[in-house]
Structure 1
Amino acid sequence: MRYTTASNSAFITALYVVLVPLFLRRFDLRLWTALSFAVSGLWLLIHPSAEMNRGDLYTLVCAVAFALHIIAVEAYVRRSDVLSFSAWQLAMVAGALVGPALTEGYRPWSVAFTPMLIWALVITGVLATALAFCVQVWAQKHVPAQRVALIFALEPALAAWLSWLVLGERLDAMGWVGSGLITAGVLIGTMPARRADASFTA
């Protein structure tokens, strides 16, 4: 975020919805139609700039990592239990981040655990991370990776709608059209498929 804008970062990160089927080579007209709707909607909703910079390239690497994570979950989840898979996944990430956190000067004993901080930790740590990843792992036992990635495209649309509904933030006409296109793309892409999902069950 030091080298790019929030809108560019949000849009480029969401490109994993395209990268997942590309990496898996799962090509289907219905899926690509859905992706076209979703990516067009993301562009209208987020309003990224056309200029590329170093931060955008870093964010693209992040999008690739997100795509590879979705693919890896599909590859391994059928061999293990959902809870144990999720627990090990979270434990490995937490362990890997201890070193960088300490080098950045983080000292947990110096943190004041106020009610607001505890509530924020519950929301971000328990609900948005632990529970969310458990649900993703469970879902990927039944849903192919390319459809999971497409469903994830709803995230910015839902965030925009909730911000408008709960926080009173303004959502302009382009935002409504964009979020509508995203929703249409997800609906098209998650309809019962024939050939697209055959490779998943094979």
Structure 2
Amino acid sequence: MVVLCATNMVVIKYSEAHFDASAFSLGRFCIAALAFAPFLSEGLADKALWAPAAELGLWMGLGYLTQAQGLLTVDASRAAFISTLTVVVVPILAGLTGKGVRALTWASALGAVLGCALLGTGGGSGFGTGDLLSVLSAVFFGIQVFRTEHVAHKLKPGKQLPLMALTLSSVAAVMLVSAAFVHPAEVQRILSAPASFGAALRDQGVPWWQMLYTGVLSTDAVLLIEVFALNDVPSTDAAIIYSMEPVLGAGLAWAVLGERWGPLGWLGAGIILTSSLAAQIFGSSCAEKSS
């Protein structure tokens, strides 16, 4: 799973250099939603799933949308490390809505912000719009993870796949709205004449392999692994495993895209990684002792 996540931003960054970002995102999540089409009818039949699926789809869609837009102007390796801010966002949200935020969590958050500033300074260009969008993406994904946990506690047995089908359909709807906002005339033309859609795709040279990879593997497969395969993995072990994602992502960006950082960039990346690990590992340990 970590390998799939690490390759995700490199593939998106490469694809966006040759194809429109909003159109790529729309194609990616239409493919991701189609993979769960067999469970869609069951999800639509259960009205109790509509509201949570729409909410999770909104947060997830905003996360992926800002991620894709951020990658237009920021290195994939920088975006990969900034994405680990999600690990800090989740305990802050949990604390604000429950028992309060621990000092360690606030310290980790401040460390992650400092790391982002250093990463922007020493990772190429200064901290810009792409970095800000990457930070917003991490926040949106943090909200999505936090709300997913809340929904999961109330979910009836056997409803995971129908919920995912509805959620991914909601994400595809978010991407359709985004594409319509960026390219209103093209979307209106395709919706009014669906038969022209195939010809339009062939003319534009759509990166189908990249869409299939990000839609089926780095979206659907990752979600399935999270839902089913990681239920028994301790949070401390999961934190260490997840910490490899930005490291692998930066390595792939270095090898495939030729991205390079200065000393301050590597220092910032290290601070972000350390802050995220501290928030997850030691925060979990404190929670277990207090319970």
Alignment TM-score, normalising by the size of structure 2: 0.48
* Structure 2 partner of 1:34: 108
* Structure 2 partner of 1:120: 210
User: Is there any run of 5+ residues in structure 2 with no aligned partner, and where?
Assistant: 1-68, 191-196
Native 8 Å contact 1:45 1:176 kept in 2:
yes
CA distance, structure 2, for counterparts of residue 61 and residue 5 of structure 1? 15
**Displaced runs of 4 or more, over 6 A:** 11-14, 58-61, 113-116, 142-145, 148-154
How far did residue 90 of structure 1 move? 0.5
Against the structure 1 CA distance between its residues 123 and 46, is the aligned structure 2 distance closer, same or farther, given a 3 Å change threshold? farther
Q: CA RMSD of the aligned region, Å?
A: 4.5
Query: Could you tell me which amino acid in structure 2 is paired with residue 72 of structure 1?
Result: R
* Structure 2 partner of 1:83: 161
Against the structure 1 CA distance between its residues 190 and 19, is the aligned structure 2 distance closer, same or farther, given a 3 Å change threshold? closer
Q: Percent identity?
A: 29
How far did residue 99 of structure 1 move? 5.2
Against the structure 1 CA distance between its residues 155 and 61, is the aligned structure 2 distance closer, same or farther, given a 3 Å change threshold? same
Against the structure 1 CA distance between its residues 154 and 45, is the aligned structure 2 distance closer, same or farther, given a 3 Å change threshold? farther
How far did residue 168 of structure 1 move? 3.2
How far did residue 185 of structure 1 move? 2.2
Against the structure 1 CA distance between its residues 20 and 190, is the aligned structure 2 distance closer, same or farther, given a 3 Å change threshold? closer
* Structure 2 partner of 1:171: 261
Aligned counterpart for 2:279 among listed residues 168, 178, 189: 189
| 1:73 and 2:148 aligned | yes
* Structure with more helix by fraction: 2
CA distance, structure 1, for counterparts of residue 150 and residue 248 of structure 2? 28
How far did residue 162 of structure 1 move? 2.2
CA distance, structure 2, for counterparts of residue 5 and residue 165 of structure 1? 19
Native 8 Å contact 1:150 1:186 kept in 2:
no
User: Counterpart of 1:170 in 2: which secondary structure?
Assistant: coil
Native 8 Å contact 1:19 1:64 kept in 2:
yes
How far did residue 179 of structure 1 move? 1.9
Against the structure 1 CA distance between its residues 50 and 181, is the aligned structure 2 distance closer, same or farther, given a 3 Å change threshold? closer
Native 8 Å contact 1:45 1:175 kept in 2:
yes
Native 8 Å contact 1:70 1:149 kept in 2:
no
Q: Which has the larger radius of gyration?
A: 2
Q: What's the CA shift string for 1:136-169, capped at 9, x where partnerless? A: 4458867899xx9999787655433321234332
Q: How many residues align?
A: 194
